[in-house]
Homo-oligomer: A and B are copies of this chain.
Amino acid sequence: MSHLLPVAAGFDLSAIDTSSTPGFTGEKKDAERELASNGAELGGLQERLFAESRVGGTRSVLLVLQAMDTAGKGGIVRHVIGDTDPQGIQLHAFKAPTDEEKAHDFLWRIRNELPEAGKIGVFDRSHYEDVLIHRVHGFSTPEVIEERYGIINEFERELSESGTTVIKVMLHISSNEQKVRLQERLDRPDKHWKYNPGDVDERLQWDAYQEAYQIALTRTSTVDAPWHVIPADRKWYARWAVQQLLLDALRRLDPQWPPVDYDVEIEKVRLAAT
């Protein structure tokens, strides 16, 4: 999956061209066609993973989505996740923590939303906010944040060992692209509700966020749970790329229709007698 930019030694976030389309040579219409035509395979894999869990299988998938505002997390959920069976999806959007959540350690609310066996969990934001926004705004001390990288790695190692395939994605846009997208939200009345003045305040911290991402990605991209940085200035590419990551993960899991634990011929006779 090298074409989908796994974060490894020597990784430099600032060196990535946010408008590039690594691993894909076609154009928008080609990506959209592939996205649609891959839906059947993705759905089939998803159903087999779910079926496996009905007879005791414990495997699951967790897609973690992180990004600067407007980078397209919502579009990924709508167009990639939206193309799967809702019965096999557990989606959760993490907002600013509630008082109850703050009273617990930062992974408490995360653990509560982990996917059940057989499901594909999707996190729209995640525990990474606790090393990203916390670093940029100083919500936690450097020492606490430093400690969290290790806690996160250990947590994700446990997830992996208990059968959850963790796919971490940063949708990466340029500062200019964000400006264009925020502008669009201000220009279109049907997008006004998606904008709030705090978006500009956060935007002024752009460089600090990029630095926080650079450090977090480097410190927490592990064999068990690697990060992938997806150039996202072109929405159609980002959607295609995330679908590829999901497909790759599910193909490797290679879930199978479970063996029956009843006698099919006997059941046919029983049913016929009703």
Contacts and interface: CB of A to CB of B under 8 A. Distances in A.
Contact of A203 (B74, B122, B274): B274
A266 to B, nearest CB: 8
Nearest to A263: B197
Contacts of A85: 77-78, 82
A271 B91 contact: no
Interface stretch (A150-158, A188-196, A223-231): A188-196
A264 interface: yes
B267 A197 contact: yes
Nearest to A43: B78
Contacts of A186: 264, 267-268, 271
B257 A179 contact: no
Interface string A81-96: 1101111010101000
A85 B80 CA distance: 11
A193 to B, nearest CB: 4
Q: How large is the interface on A (under 10, 10 to 19, 20 to 34, 35 or more residues)?
A: 35 or more
A190 B257 contact: yes
Interface string A184-209: 00100110111111001001100000
Nearest to A274: B203
Contacts of A189: 257
A67 interface: no
Interface in A37-57: 51, 54-55
Given A85-B77, A91-B86, A91-B87, A262 B193 contact: no
Contact of A200 (B78, B179, B270): B270
